[in-house]
Amino acid sequence: MPDLEALCSVQRATYYQFLAGAYFDTTLLTLSRWPACDLPALSIVQDPLDPTLAPANFAQPLVFFRLDPLSALARSPFAEDLRHFRLRIPARQAARFLYALPNALPRVELLDMSTCNVLESDVEGMLGRFVRLRALILDGCYIVSQRAVAADGQGPEEAFGHWAALGKMMALSGAKYARDREKRLKLFLEALRARALALEEDAQQREHAARRPKRGRRGLATATISLRDSPPKNSVALPKLPAGATSSSIPPAQRVRILPALPALRTLATTPPSSVGSDKHDTIRAEFARGWNEGIAQLCAIRGRLRTSWGNGVRVVRIDPEYEIDEEDGDGEDGLAGLMDVDDERAFLVTSKATGGDDEGRENTVDEARMLGIEDGTCPSLCLAGPGRKEGHIEGCGHQLGWEVWHDEL
């Protein structure tokens, strides 16, 4: 299990080490060029700057000059089977470099981005992209802290509603992803038909020109070279057409709806504002669950409308959980790549609890339901205890899972 730890401890708070250009960007690029392998876990950790050795406003050292190599690593064959990933780069906005591009970390189940600068929009993007993500650890990220500051003499209770907003946003993350993907799919289908029409028209013009008799002398007058500028090339990749396809063989562009998925998340670990004591944790969890349930109710309404449209003949597709990218699929989200048709009415169902008495039975039922397209809308557990073995951890939280994977208590 590779463990890349960027140690940046200094006895005197200066930027000397970083002005010397000692960055680790090439390490990420080197890993991204490795071949595919059965890698279960990867840990990349930059130690936070010790506040006792630096002034209060001293910025975190730059261990990675650019964060683009993270995107190359997340989409590389080396990370295809990566299930547990810990990435800690203090105060850097690293999350967007993981989820912004298609086919990134396709099998990740446990993601730890503690100490990074993670925004609420990043949480939404990660849940929409990582369809297998079951545990998310965000200690020290304070995704709610900016809103949790009491104003005008109001107590911290005024901020609890923002935990409900967080829960609702997370439950609806799949709906946002589906809307964005639908827009791309619509443009793709329109471009596909337009390309077929253009090729057919060009073929007709060539055939007509070949039949027209030419007058005059032949020779230099019919030179095969031209001093004119070449026609501009397409700035974007055009969709490929099936062999022998014509405008008549391609159906008119019809709207294809994408069934929004529920997050697979089962546990979230994050840090509450420092002004909120542990005696308020139960209230926070209740608010988070209330927001999550509101989001699930809204998502059920969306899926219900799609169920009606599907019954009326509208084509509805959903994310294929077993999809493996192919070279012909472009970036993995071109056209219908990674999507599968809904052919069973049960795919529109959402369960709040899986049947079965024990945890093992519950997991088996959930896996079987996912194969049928039935998704589990149960609210994930919310652990607010923070890192380290102490009281207050929720059973089965991301911290406990991380201890078993990485054998430490960071």
**What is the per-residue pLDDT across 279-326, written as a single tens digit (0 to 9) for each?**
889 999 999 999 999 999 999 999 999 999 999 999 999 988 778 776
CA separation for the pair 78, 72 (Å, rounded): 10
Terminal C-alpha separation, the chain: 16
Q: How many residues does the chain have?
A: 410
CA separation for the pair 14, 235 (Å, rounded): 46
Q: What pLDDT is attached to residue 82? A: 94
The token pair that represents 395 in the structure block: 């059973």
Q: Inform me whether the pLDDT recorded for 125 exceeds 70.
A: yes
CA separation for the pair 268, 310 (Å, rounded): 34
CA separation for the pair 26, 401 (Å, rounded): 30
Q: How many helices (H) and strands (E) does the chain have?
A: 10, 12
CA separation for the pair 200, 241 (Å, rounded): 12
CA 330: distance to chain centroid?
18
366 found inside a domain? no
247 found inside a domain? no
Which range of 139-143, 290-294, 390-394 scores highest in mean pLDDT? It is 290-294
Q: How far is the CA of 201 from the CAs of 58, 205, 208, 232, in angstroms?
A: 65, 6, 11, 19
Going by C-alpha positions, the residue among 120, 113, 126, 114 that lies closest to residue 143 is: 120
Q: Which residue has the tokens 């339901």?
A: 369
- The CA angle 310-312-318, to the nearest 5 degrees, is 10
pLDDT grade for 130, boundaries at 50, 70 and 90: very high
pLDDT grade for 235, boundaries at 50, 70 and 90: very low
226 found inside a domain? no
27 found inside a domain? yes
Please state the pTM of the whole predicted model: 0.79
29 found inside a domain? yes
Burial class (CB in 10 A: 0-12, 13-18, 19+), 298: middle
> Higher pLDDT residue, 10 or 351?
351
Average pLDDT estimate for 332-339: 81
The token pair that represents 367 in the structure block: 């896996």
The token pair that represents 141 in the structure block: 């990220």
The token pair that represents 85 in the structure block: 């990933």
304 found inside a domain? yes
Q: Inform me whether the pLDDT recorded for 378 exceeds 60.
A: yes
Enclosing H/E stretch for 317: strand 316-319
Residue 259 and residue 318 in contact, taking contact as beta carbons nearer than 8 Å: yes
The token pair that represents 31 in the structure block: 């890993």
CA separation for the pair 3, 225 (Å, rounded): 59
Burial class (CB in 10 A: 0-12, 13-18, 19+), 88: buried
362 found inside a domain? no
CA separation for the pair 27, 19 (Å, rounded): 18
Q: What pLDDT is attached to residue 173? A: 94
133 found inside a domain? yes
The token pair that represents 24 in the structure block: 């680790």
Q: What pLDDT is attached to residue 304? A: 93
Percentage above 90 pLDDT, the chain: 40
What residues have CB less than 8 Å from 115, skipping those under 6 apart? 46, 48, 88, 89, 90, 91, 139, 140, 141
**Residue type, position 297, single letter:** A
pLDDT grade for 332, boundaries at 50, 70 and 90: low
Q: What pLDDT is attached to residue 225? A: 57
What is the number of domains present in the chain? 1
pLDDT grade for 360, boundaries at 50, 70 and 90: very low
User: Which structural domain range is residue 320 located in?
Assistant: 3-148+160-179+258-348+380-406
Note the pLDDT tens digit of each residue in 70-116: 999 999 999 999 999 999 998 899 999 999 888 899 999 999 999 99
Q: List the beta strands (DSSP E) in 126-234.
A: 135-138
Q: How far is the CA of 174 from the CAs of 8, 248, 258, 302, in angstroms?
A: 38, 35, 10, 11
Percentages of the chain per state (helix, strand, coil), in multiples of 5:
40, 10, 50
